[in-house]
Amino acid sequence: MTRDVKVSIRELYKIFGGAPQDALTHVRAGMGKTELLERHGHVLGLSDINVDIRAGEVTVIMGLSGSGKSTLIRHLNRLIEPTAGQILVDGEDVMTYGEAQLRQLRRERMSMVFQKFALLPHRSVLENAGMALAVRGICREEFEGEANRWLDRVGLSGYGSQYPHQLSGGMQQRVGIARALTSNSEIMLMDEAFSALDPLIRTDMQDLLLELQRELQKTVIFITHDLDESLKLADHLVILKDGRVVQQGEPQEILLHPNDPYIVDFISDINRARVLRVRSVMKKTSATPGEYAGEVDHDDNLESVIACSQGDIGLCYRVMCEGQQVGVLDMKDLVRALVPTRAADDGLRAKATA
């Protein structure tokens, strides 16, 4: 099933500095971030970004600090103006929008969740949740119902009259999410929304997001520097480095076939058995194998299959999806998939330990 493209980023460049257009010609000729800074005193924010964001999916943009993630997401609602390139939302180029159209886009079609919550400290939780509606000129009586509904949904019933500083970080971010949901926009931008939270709360919030996503099918653009988080949430994963996209695609695909030493470094110490799914290592076939030890779901992770097989690598399983066989999983393939891609010699990690 392929969904419609909701937001499309085309040949987007962003250069910070006094004369970005001049610097752009150098970047187009292939100059890198460090060289541009040393030779011309301009910071390369983003370079030749092409990403299609599909409706109803979670697109995760991942990269290390300074790779341009925040810069990229702020282009989508034009909090930052690009140096060159197009941003198409529902096929319309946002760059051609006038002030009123842009405001309408921000008010009704996109909402945003921030790393440091960015709630209005002088407004109650309810007023914060209803902010998107209040901005449109809807009075409190009318947005109250809607705001309360979403506060309930994120688990904050009864907190409406509190103020943000009276809540814990996790609760404040729930208000941030309620605020984005109340706006009823189809697109949600989340800039490191969970990075400021402690690990347990963070897992909670990720689960909440996935649960909401199953129900609401929004187009979510989620930024993170955390690989586990991106693997958990992503339908489509975009990896940024120094303002360029190094690889994008299905997360399982990237895990199994990383195309850059940078990504190999990134994935080299995750628990592959826990994140890899049966569907990405099985052989696709509908022919029932002659002999099989049992049935596994196509979305199970490898860890659960290993537990099931008691470590016996001679076995073979039928892979099922909604009652139908979709493939066959040989335990030998499973073990092969667990062999980590060797960390690149010239990778970041090698440099760090050298």
Partner 1 sequence: MATYDFVFDRIGLNGWCEGGGESAAGPMSMSDLLAQAAGEDPSSRTSIWELPFPSLDALHNACAAFPQSRELTKGLENGFLAVKDTLKIGLDPLTQPLSWALQSALYVFQTTPWWIMIPLMLAVVLVVSRSWRLVGFVAFCVMLLAFIDHYDHAMQTLAIIFVCAFICVLLGVPIGIAMSRSNAMQRSAIPVLDMLQTLPPFVYLIPLIFLFSVTEPKLYGIAIILYAIVPVIRLTDLGIRLVDKEVIEASDAFGMTDHQKLFGVQIPLALPNIMAGVNQTIMMSLAMVVIASLVSAPGLGVLVLRGIRNLELGVGLVAGLGIVLLAVILDRVTKAALARVNAAHKY
Residues that bind ligand ATP (CB under 6 A): 16, 43, 45, 63, 65-71, 225
CA distances to 155, 170, 176, 244 from 205, in Å: 11, 8, 12, 29
Alpha helix positions (H), the chain: 20-28, 33-40, 69-76, 99-104, 125-129, 131-135, 140-153, 169-182, 199-216, 227-233, 251-256, 261-267, 272-275, 278-281, 302-309, 331-338, 348-353
The listed partner (Mg ion, ligand ATP, partner 1, none) that binds 77, CB under 5 to 8 Å by sort, is: partner 1
# chain residues binding partner 1, by CB under 8 A: 30
User: C-beta of 12: minimal distance to partner 1 in Å?
Assistant: 19
Cβ 69 to Mg ion shortest distance, Å = 5
CA distances from 174 to 57, 59, 115, 190, 232 (A): 21, 20, 12, 12, 19
CB of 82 to ligand ATP, least distance (A): 13
Token pair listed for 255: 């895990």
Q: How far is the CB of 323 from ligand ATP (least distance, A)?
A: 43
Does residue 222 interact with partner 1 by CB under 8 A? no
Burial class (CB in 10 A: 0-12, 13-18, 19+), 1: exposed
Q: What is the chain's Cα-based Rg? A: 23
Q: Which is nearer to partner 1, 167 or 281 (CB)?
A: 167
Q: Of these partners, Mg ion, ligand ATP, partner 1, none, which one is at the site of residue 220 (CB under 5 to 8 Å by kind)?
A: none
The CA distance from 94 to 228, in Å, is 32
Alpha-carbon distance of 353 to 325, in angstroms, equals: 46
Q: Does 47 bind Mg ion (CB under 5 A)?
A: no
178/322 Cα distance (integer angstroms): 33
165 binds partner 1 (CB under 8 A): yes
Minimum distance of ligand ATP from residue 301's CB (angstroms): 28
Among 71, 77, 230, 252, contact with partner 1 (rule: CB under 8 A): 77
118 or 344: whose CB is closer to partner 1? 118
Instruction: Return the residue of 36, 60, 72, 119 that touches partner 1, per CB under 8 A.
Output: 119
Residues 168-197, one symbol each (x = binds partner 1 by CB under 8 A, - = not), give: -----------x---x-----x--------
Alpha carbon distance 136, 147 (integer Å): 14
The C-alpha atoms of residue 337 and residue 329 are separated, in whole angstroms, by 12
Which region, judged by CB under 5 A, interacts with Mg ion, from 37-45, 68-76, 175-183, 325-333? 68-76
Least separation in angstroms between CB 88 and partner 1: 19
Alpha carbons 318 and 81: distance in angstroms, whole number: 52
Q: Shortest approach of partner 1 to residue 271 CB, angstroms?
A: 34
Question: Does residue 132 interact with partner 1 by CB under 8 A?
Answer: yes
Residues that bind partner 1 (CB under 8 A): 77, 79, 102-108, 110-112, 114, 116-122, 131-132, 135-136, 163-165, 179, 183, 189
